[in-house]
Amino acid sequence: MNILEFREVSKFYNQDSLGVCDLSFSVKKGEIVALAGPSGSGKTTALNIAAGLDDFTQGDVRLFDQSLQNLLPHEVLNLRRNDVGFIFQAYNLFPVLTVLENVEYPLALKGVRFQERIIKAKECIREVGLEGLENRLPSELSGGQQQRVAVARALVSEPKIIFADEPTANLDTATAEKLLLLFRELNDKNGTTFIFSSHDPRVLKLADRVIVLADGRLMN
């Protein structure tokens, strides 16, 4: 079953700025797929569109077999809160919140009770290997550890699909590979689908499949 499908999707940011063009691809449930391509090739645009964070100009995007255009804004928001995790390139952690508070935040948005939030957040923190660091602030962590907090935050609501925009861009090779192995572990255990962008050949080889973009178009 396809969990995500792009059908001839184009996005123009404005008259002379093309994000993606005629992009068609699909991702099956449980796959780990990488979007590759040089800077400016449309990776971020494609991920943002897929996650319902950004709109598009032409074509059709189906997420969980629902056409994103046919959903109302609050339905897209619900889908994102319940079934989609997103890991941003710059982590986007709240600097004044502790690790635990950052990770439980998506559950607070969903109205989950405090006790349950704490239990689930601690579980995810353990899963990404950050047990014991719950009360640290992001500024007291290394880049790799901050990235793991971002992963735990994406995991906490048990999404079916996780999008990660260049999750290894700021990490050394060993830490980057560990992060990809963590994706694989979570994929094995929970069946979570992962779509990440990268231009690092060392992490691309850890994906099940690589989709290559150039100038907003599909290369392979």
Residues making contact with ligand ADP (CB under 6 A): 13, 17, 19, 37, 39-45, 216
When the beta carbons of 88 and 183 are compared against Mg ion, the nearer one is: 88
Q: What's the closest the beta carbon of residue 47 comes to ligand ADP, in angstroms?
A: 8
When the beta carbons of 107 and 163 are compared against Mg ion, the nearer one is: 163
Stretch that binds Mg ion, among 35-43, 106-114, 146-154, 169-177 (CB under 5 A): 35-43
Q: Which two tokens stand for residue 218?
A: 């599909």
Helix (H, G, I), strand (E, B), or coil: what is residue 8?
strand
Q: What's the closest the beta carbon of residue 11 comes to ligand ADP, in angstroms?
A: 8
Asked if 218 and 212 touch (Cβ cutoff 8 Å), the reply is yes
Vertex 195 angle, CA 193 and 196, to 5°: 140
Question: Residue 167 touches which of Mg ion, ligand ADP, none (CB < 5 to 8 A by kind)?
Answer: none
Edge to edge, the sheet with strand 17-28 lists: 17-28, 2-14, 58-63, 66-67
Q: What's the closest the beta carbon of residue 219 comes to ligand ADP, in angstroms?
A: 12
Question: Residue 42 touches which of ligand ADP, Mg ion, none (CB < 5 to 8 A by kind)?
Answer: ligand ADP
Task: Tell whether residue 44 is a contact of Mg ion (CB under 5 A).
Answer: yes
Question: Residue 13 touches which of Mg ion, ligand ADP, none (CB < 5 to 8 A by kind)?
Answer: ligand ADP
H or E segment and range at residue 162: strand 161-164
Q: Which two tokens stand for residue 60?
A: 């059709």
Question: Residue 62 touches which of ligand ADP, Mg ion, none (CB < 5 to 8 A by kind)?
Answer: none
Asked if 18 and 28 touch (Cβ cutoff 8 Å), the reply is no
d(C-alpha 198, C-alpha 34), whole Å = 7
Residues touching Mg ion: how many (CB under 5 A)? 2
Distances (CA, A) of 119 to 84, 113, 157, 166, 210: 20, 10, 12, 29, 36
Question: Residue 80 touches which of Mg ion, ligand ADP, none (CB < 5 to 8 A by kind)?
Answer: none
When the beta carbons of 55 and 172 are compared against ligand ADP, the nearer one is: 55
Q: What's the closest the beta carbon of residue 220 comes to Mg ion, in angstroms?
A: 19
- Residues 161, 218, 203, 4, Cα dihedral to 10°: 10
Binding residues for Mg ion, per CB under 5 A?
43-44
